A and B are shown apart, each in its own frame.
Chain A
Amino acid sequence: MRSLYAPFDEKTVRSLKLGEIVNITGAVVTGRDEVHIRALEYLDEGKEVPQCLNEAVLYHCGPIMVQDDKGTWSVVAAGPTTSARMNTLEPRFIREFKIRAIIGKGGMSKEVAEAMKEVGCVYLAATGGAAVSYAEGLSRVTGYDWLDLGMPEALWHFQTRALGPLVVAIDAEGNSLYEKVREKVAENLKKL
């Protein structure tokens, strides 16, 4: 398993091969439906958007978080959510913030892969439901924005430690492992 250190530059992203298995140590933020909607809305309205989104590693995840008596947050469970829900907003999101990697499950549309190719961004597939293991990888909460969106929808900032395993499922050339598997499945089904 290859270890990556975030934030990373375009060159690192473009060196990642389809099917390669990696883990990430460094800065990762969570964001799903509501973060996408608000960030793009704020851009349109000329409002300030949290800095942490620039060249970020974005995790499609709605974590279960708990706060202790002193107000410190920690993560209980944090597996990936279905990325396809963000298909319509993601291309612009990637272009505006120069997102370097998206972690999620199930893959994303051709339009998203196009934006990834253009900007230099990869899609990393996390194992769906492996919430305890990924929570361990999200070892420290370094901050948050937009908690008013609710616990699963907020923009959480993490310092991760070997967050993984993650499979490079769409590379920075726009090649998709999901597409390849789909073609193979169609072929196999014909033989039945």
Chain B
Amino acid sequence: MVVKLPEPTEKVVENILRLANTKLPEDIGWALEAAAGWETNPTAQSQIGAILENVRKAEHMYKPMCQDTGIPIFYVRGKFDSSIAKDIAQAVENCTKAIPMRPNTVDPIIRINNGNNLGPGMPAVHYIPTDDDFTEISVMLKGAGSENMTRLKMLNPSDGIEGVKKFIIDSVIDAGGRPCPPGIVGVGIGGTADECVAMAKRALMEPLDMEDPDPEIQALEEELFVKINSSGLGPMGLGGDTTVLGVKIRKAFCHTASLPVAVNIGCWATRRAVARITDNDVIYSQGVRL
């Protein structure tokens, strides 16, 4: 956690973009180190070894750890006004050149690229107003490899918790090596269709070593973690004991006739960074429960 003197918001956003791009969150690094310790499959060992070496080099050389610098997804929480959207967009444009980040953002139909990662609806910013005395800006960089594996299913309430578990496991297994496993499985259960997917994504912002306050959710996360890893899919889908580093679940009440479940997978490079701005300082970290 780094504390600095106040800076303009645009600069703070640039800082979290650089932090997210170049330094893997500690919790994910620890989980990868642990996996390197328990893996017995030589292919899996080579993959985790290559990831860890890459992470060290990226941090040391101050370079993006993956060439797919993704789509930056922002969460703004606390007190803020609408001008913050402009600061965020400007920072994204600046960082696209300065870090550099790959210009990934295109028109969905005619596929033109402005070259600056900006365009209608981009960058994606979610607002969570609270009565707190700080402004907290979080970013997650989401590559296409993992984002393309996103699934939403409106289950029947009669499918029950077993149906929910099956859908989550199948989603991870069907994705195979495409989302660059081992990563994190973000899950939303309940809510409306849109909120369900949003929960699955938000869950990925939470550090792996942070426990869910609800013991039932904790137990479900643990069960899915063990089951998915016992599949043997392994790092990059090449076989091994480590398919996921963690499972993170969020739930919300839903319609009595619905049971929505969403899965949003984060790759090993689930790059996140957070800045909490108060009147006196800015505190940086790399994960938060939203």
Contact = CB atoms under 8 A, between A and B. Distances in A.
Interface of A: 19, 21, 61-64, 66, 76-79, 81-82, 84, 105-107, 125, 127-133, 135-136, 150-152, 165, 167, 169, 177-178, 180-182, 184-185, 188-189, 192
A77 B64 contact: yes
Q: Is the interface of B mostly helix, strand, loop or mixed?
A: loop
A132 B173 contact: no
B102 interface: yes
B180 interface: yes
B169 interface: yes
Contact of B236 (A63, A105, A152, A188): A105
A125 B64 contact: no
Interface of B: 42-43, 46-47, 49-51, 53-54, 57-58, 61, 63-69, 100, 102, 113, 143, 145, 169, 173, 176-178, 180, 227, 230-239, 267-269
A64 B231 contact: no
B176 A178 contact: yes
Given A79-B67, A106-B177, A181-B238, A188 B232 contact: yes
Contact of B54 (A19, A132, A152, A177): A132
Contacts of B235: 127
A130 B169 contact: no
Nearest to A133: B54
Contact of A125 (B42, B113, B231, B238): B238
Nearest to B58: A132
Given A64-B102, A105-B236, A181-B239, A165 B50 contact: yes
Contacts of B64: 64, 76-77, 131-132
